[in-house]
Amino acid sequence: MSFLPPFLHAINPAYVISGFGVGFLVGITGVGGGSLMTPILVLLFGVHPVTAVGTDLIYASITKTGGSLVHGFNKTIDWRVVGRLALGSLPASLLTLGALYVFRIDTAASNALISKVLAVALLLTVVSLLMRKRLLATYSKRVGLLSPEKTRRLTILTGAVLGVLVTISSIGAGAIGVTALLLLYPELPIKKIAGSDIAHAVPLTLVAGLGHLMSGAINIPLLESLLVGSLPGIMLASAFAPRLPDAALRYTLAATLLLVAVKLLM
């Protein structure tokens, strides 16, 4: 006779380990959530791309809520930046969900579309990870400091772009978002950039994930297993994030994502 809660009987250890690893990486660097979890689900565990994206979005929202609580406690979130990003991303996510519903793309077409968008988003993520310092230097030399109003408008626009990317592929809120914020807010410490990016991902992935949930593209047992690992992972890493260097992790992540992108495009 088992005394475990009913939902624990469906827990898959492989999913738990994957959830912990991705959650830990996100907590340290602010990147790697969708860009790692969705490809893992598709390529390693054979989950259909549409279901992988929907499940990953809800997973990311709940996981990053845990990370946001720790970052909020450590005062490493700039809520002004979070609000500006959300002002662009949430309407863009809703519009993207509406477009996907209106055009009623069939399953085969959805899988093909998501796989290609996924690959392109991964390549953009790799570029943003590897070229971050050069991008910052070039941007600083050619653009310089922006006016407060222009910074606000560009932050909202960045949010809109992330809203479209994340809703379709579950990728972009991490590395692409962090890189954009580094360009727009060079005065902010890295830990506040990462904390703000994680906090912004919570409402965005929730809205996008609920849209996928309404279409039935969520695997609940898979989601439960991922969360059992990811919540401890991201909360543990978020507590130590301000003290740890992330360069080695970023390069490892970039190499992994490049291989995954090539695989998806083949």
Report residue 65 as tokens: 């809520």
Q: Read off the pTM.
A: 0.75
Q: How far apart are CA 26 and CA 60, in angstroms?
A: 10
Regarding predicted confidence, which is higher, 4 or 35? 35
Q: Is the dihedral of CA 78, 234, 216, 51 positive or negative?
A: positive
pLDDT for res 175: 65
Burial of 104 per CB tally in 10 Å (0-12, 13-18, 19+): exposed
Between 155 and 189, the more confident residue is 155
Do residues 74 and 242 touch, judged by C-beta distance below 8 A?
yes
| Token code pair at residue 212 | 């996928």
In single-letter form, the type of residue at position 174 comes to G
Radius of gyration of the CA atoms of the chain, in A = 18
pLDDT digits (tens, 9 = 90+) for 182-196: 778 877 887 788 789
**Higher-confidence residue: 178 or 222?**
222
Q: How many CB atoms lie within 10 A of CB 5?
A: 8
Choice between 82 and 237, residue whose per-residue pLDDT is larger: 82
Residue 251: other Cβ atoms inside 10 A = 12
- What pLDDT does residue 141 have? 66
The predicted-structure confidence for 205-231, as pLDDT tens digits, reads as follows 899 888 878 777 788 889 989 999 988
Q: What share of the chain is helix, strand, coil (3-state, %, to 5)?
A: 80, 0, 20
Distance, CA of 176 to CA of 193 (rounded, Å): 12
What does the chain come to in residues? 266
| Residue 199 one-letter amino acid | A
CB 207 within 8 A of CB 166: no
pLDDT at 94: 93
pLDDT above 90 as % of the chain = 17
pLDDT of residue 143: 63
Mean pLDDT, range 140-153, rounded to an integer: 77
pLDDT of residue 3: 42
pLDDT digits (tens, 9 = 90+) for 77-111: 999 999 999 999 999 999 988 887 787 665 556 55
* 150: CB partners within 8 A, 6+ apart: none
pLDDT at 4: 45
Task: Please name which of 53, 61, 64 lies closest in space to residue 27, comparing C-alpha atoms.
Answer: 64
Q: Mind giving me the DSSP string for 124-139?
A: HHHHHHHSHHHHHHHH
Cα–Cα distances in Å, from 199 out to 64, 82, 124, 139, 170? 7, 7, 22, 25, 16
